[in-house]
Structure 1
């Protein structure tokens, strides 16, 4: 008998998609999907490289995502579930067991991934390459916000244009040296 990692209610067997069995919680409406069942559901020749998943595209969350903030345990093996962020700048995480690789979906998370057509790429989100992409994207956004605050919109747009021109120019390094020299005419 499997119990919900959030509310300890007994989980019921259900089908998420044709041939994709799962366990659902009648209390909190979360879902538990075994790694083996998920991988069996994906076609054997199915492969979706990380490079094909566009991290820059908009991610609209059509359903309220009930992301939990508590430590939870695997319904299969009892180990801690590790939280993985799914998309940059969204409070949307999935919990995955590091031992048996089962996945816990809080209420509406599966439906949200389905609506985004990401429900067949879930394992990508648990890779170090994807998590690094997320960190990089979020860091870039933090710097963007900082520069916007420091320079203001108009000056920031202007300096980005100049920066782009300098990096593309064949004498870009010399132009930068000229600009940064306090007195470029002094010998």
Structure 2
């Protein structure tokens, strides 16, 4: 089988992290994972929840140069669908055939997916529900980084801890309302 991205280069059999059989391009290092191999491998893997995904695990994964190229499924000939991962620093795209379920990972993407804890749920990555949850997590992560940048780490950590306490307190909304009034200025100078 020829490489999906580097035409004319023959794929060779390899075993990916987690003992998953695949075929890899010796030039671009991308991997084709046959649908039946992935299905069999996935049966023995834990199924992570969205909140357990480690978005930072792939922060140092540089996108592969051929990640921008589209590809055709080597099994059924259809265009592969692409989905952006939830990686915050260096997002990358995983490709999957919507007809047969075969997966293409560009160089290093399988290791990044494994490190993030989502290699066993690649089919879920393509759902709008999963993508929505990951966008929310990414937004909250960026918000957290911005808070640290604006307030400094010590004060930001105190704010995060207070927010956690107020969120779980039965009258936490009273505390939030007080802070909003206090900081908003309507009670400034009254004390």
TM-score (norm 2): 0.67
CA shift digits 1:50-97 (9 cap, x unpaired):
328721475267986626122222222332222223443143432111
3-state SS in 2 of match to 1:14:
strand
For the 8 Å contact 1:9–1:26, the answer to whether it is kept is no
Equivalents in 2 of 1:161, 1:27: separation in Å?
Answer: 49
Aligned residue in 1 for 2:81: 82
Aligned residue in 1 for 2:53: 55
Aligned length, in residue pairs: 182
Equivalents in 2 of 1:106, 1:149: separation in Å?
Answer: 33
> Compared with structure 1, are the counterparts of its residues 66 and 151 closer, same or farther at alpha carbon in structure 2 (3 Å cutoff)?
same
For the 8 Å contact 1:13–1:21, the answer to whether it is kept is no
For the 8 Å contact 2:50–2:133, the answer to whether it is kept is no
Residue 109 in structure 1 maps to residue 101 in structure 2: no
> Compared with structure 1, are the counterparts of its residues 19 and 47 closer, same or farther at alpha carbon in structure 2 (3 Å cutoff)?
closer
**Gap regions ≥5 residues in structure 2:** none
Equivalents in 1 of 2:118, 2:93: separation in Å?
Answer: 14
> Compared with structure 1, are the counterparts of its residues 119 and 103 closer, same or farther at alpha carbon in structure 2 (3 Å cutoff)?
same
**Gap regions ≥5 residues in structure 1:** none
For the 8 Å contact 1:32–1:104, the answer to whether it is kept is yes
3-state SS in 1 of match to 2:32:
strand
> Compared with structure 1, are the counterparts of its residues 125 and 171 closer, same or farther at alpha carbon in structure 2 (3 Å cutoff)?
closer
- The structure with the largest alpha-carbon Rg is 1
Tell me the C-alpha RMSD between the 2 structures.
3.9
